[in-house]
Amino acid sequence: MKRMLAVALVATLFAVSCSDPVPPAAPTPVSPTVSEPFTGTLAAFGSNVHPFTVNQVGGLVVIISSVDPSAAVGVGVGTPSVSTGTCTVLSAMTVVAGPGVQLSGTATVAGSFCVQVFDVGNLVESVAYTITVIHS
């Protein structure tokens, strides 16, 4: 009887030690609080990249507050390519400047990101712009 109990105990310990570990809980995204304004001049058929760093998982908001003279431009968020100085855009859209949020989402990892402003094919002259990225 003692032998059966010992075998059962060893089998139980072996089963417990071989089970998969419990994965850590996913981080809870925080509200965006860090505001970074960028300004620039966008040439016809051109694009400009502005890098920024996200310190923790959380919300991400992009607002183009002005384009002068007024025009629709493209805006995208992505990750910077150090070797080429470009931005690998993960999400983009065509926007017209205004006070509201044009692009929003969640940064699922902390690290280096970039916002790219680009001509969508309708600029006939250079435009000055102001863009604000709000992140955590």
Show me where the domains of the chain are located.
27-135
The Cα 21–Cα 135 span in angstroms is 33
Question: What is the average pLDDT value for the chain, to the nearest integer?
Answer: 86
The pLDDT tens digits for 68-106 are 999 999 999 999 988 888 999 999 999 999 888 888 999
CA distance 39 to 25: 39
CB 50 within 8 A of CB 115: yes
Helix boundaries (H) for the chain: 2-17
Residues 95, 31, 109, 34: is their CA dihedral positive or negative? Answer: positive
pLDDT in tens, the chain (136 residues): 555 544 444 455 455 555 566 777 777 778 999 999 999 999 999 999 999 999 999 999 999 999 999 999 999 999 998 888 899 999 999 999 988 888 899 999 999 999 999 999 999 999 999 999 999 9
- This prediction's pTM: 0.78
27-135: which CATH architecture? Answer: Sandwich (2.60)
